[in-house]
Copies of this chain bind each other. A is one copy, B any other.
């Protein structure tokens, strides 16, 4: 096993990796930007190296700087987390050439699976169904029109190098195809430096379901069950759960084995995730492989009792998987909610500023993965995710009730969050029944009128709270209203004493 590793990431995922490493007796090295000088993950690490300015292009994306820090600190391996350099094959290659173990798959596998078209070809070769579409990149409008007609509208135009919802457009009929193609191509060119696209059948109201994979360096591969990730807004996952209400053990087995075939064929090792979409008739289609740890990995950890970061470190250090597929046991139901700094009442506008107050009560059955503490700043530089709340219960109903309680008791002041939005999602009939899909939020939920008007005792509380807040904030100036001269009465003073 390694004696020291470097974490080429920040925030909650850096904290998460440090946690498992410490428990294994491995020393940890953090790298940080100006903004992160005293962020939680640097406080927890054994060593800290400064790598540059706050924008990630000047720090967390600088492969050279990170390799340099690894060399200086004598770290034997680098964990890339998610995002940043985690899926860049050149970085995995640089690590290898510097004699540092990259904690993830080999750069060849990253490169192979990083190309949507190659990955699709690989899936087909291994008898895993894919969404009908072009099997090569296209650029010419005429050819694209012809292909779209063959596949049948609606179709999806996707940037070949895209991801995370970027560079994707649905085209309902031939009239819309030209403008959509131009828009997709210009976006793809500026974002990824590559304007090739491909086209596929658009599947209405699909589920996004993914499988967690572990593969050692000796060809042993297992899956750890599915994650239901259909609760999305703008292709960003918001709530994830496992098991999925639509997956029975038969389908789980079929999809899990498909996922394993792809990963095996790619010569993949370490942790990875195979994404599928599932249509209304429970047909599944391979989507892509994420060649890294996922944001939502904790729900799998809790339901299987397997620490994925620990397994990543063991695999990277050359150990064999210590369990077989039949050893994997699933227990209860797990849900994750992503708490983000965004104003869900104002078009999900990102919210920046200082967290002036944070008070939470997790209680039994709850886990929180976070990189942020009271007093910290939420900046424009990085992802707006503040925290991942994860609940575990004997069944789905209990897991949901725990999550709701914890969300109600999670307080953040100084910035806006999506907590009330998460809570209304959990309270929707569709979520209760488990009947939702990737377009549910945008096409259905956001059109609903969810304003709550308090009544009875709650109305009294709301009204009095508003009045007391205003009273307490009032500048301590003696008003000469004439009628009511004794403004500074005894009880006002008392209240001021209480506050701070």
Contact = CB atoms under 8 A, between A and B. Distances in A.
Nearest to A301: B364
17 contacts: A16-B364, A19-B363, A19-B405, A20-B364, A22-B405, A23-B398, A23-B401, A23-B402, A25-B401, A44-B409, A301-B364, A306-B394, A329-B331, A331-B331, A359-B373, A362-B368, A364-B367
A363 B373 CA distance: 14
Given A15-B363, A401-B24, A394 B305 contact: yes
A27 to B, nearest CB: 12
Contacts of A365: 307
Contacts of A44: 361, 409
Contacts of A279: none
A283 to B, nearest CB: 34
A343 interface: no
A405 B332 contact: no
Interface of A: 15-16, 19-20, 22-25, 40, 44, 298, 301, 305-307, 329, 331-332, 359, 361-365, 367-369, 373, 394, 398, 401-402, 405, 409
Nearest to A359: B373
Given A16-B364, A23-B398, A23-B405, 15 more contacts: A15-B361, A15-B363, A16-B363, A19-B364, A23-B402, A24-B401, A305-B331, A305-B332, A305-B394, A307-B365, A307-B394, A307-B398, A363-B369, A364-B367, A364-B369
A193 to B, nearest CB: 38
A455 to B, nearest CB: 17
A398 B368 CA distance: 19
A332 B22 CA distance: 20
A19 B393 CA distance: 13
Contacts of A16: 363-364
A9 to B, nearest CB: 16
Contacts of A19: 363-364, 405
A352 B361 CA distance: 24
A242 to B, nearest CB: 16
Nearest to A305: B394
Nearest to A21: B405
Nearest to A400: B23
A332 B298 CA distance: 17
A191 to B, nearest CB: 34
Best-surrounded residue of A298, A329, A394 (most CB of chain B within 10 A): A394
A398 B25 CA distance: 11
A20 B401 CA distance: 10
Contact of A307 (B24, B307, B364): B364
A259 to B, nearest CB: 23
- Of A19, A20, A367, A409, chain B has the most CB atoms within 10 Å of the CB of A19
A62 B307 CA distance: 48
Nearest to A38: B498
Which of A362, A364, A398, A409: most chain B Cβ within 10 A? A364
A412 to B, nearest CB: 16
Contacts of A394: 305-307
Nearest to A401: B23
Contact of A364 (B298, B329, B332, B401): B298
Nearest to A24: B401
A398 B398 CA distance: 27
Give the most central of A23, A44, A402, A405: most B CB within 10 Å: A23
A241 to B, nearest CB: 17
Contacts of A25: 401
With a 10 A CB-CB cut-off, give which of A40, A305, A359 has the most chain B CB atoms: A305
Nearest to A369: B364
Contacts of A15: 361, 363
A398 B22 CA distance: 11
A23 B406 CA distance: 10
Nearest to A408: B22
A368 B307 CA distance: 19
Contacts of A306: 394
Contacts of A364: 16, 19-20, 298, 301, 307, 367, 369
A16 B329 CA distance: 29
Contacts of A305: 331-332, 394
A307 B395 CA distance: 12
Nearest to A390: B364
Nearest to A394: B305
Contacts of A401: 23-25
A365 B310 CA distance: 13
A23 B364 CA distance: 11
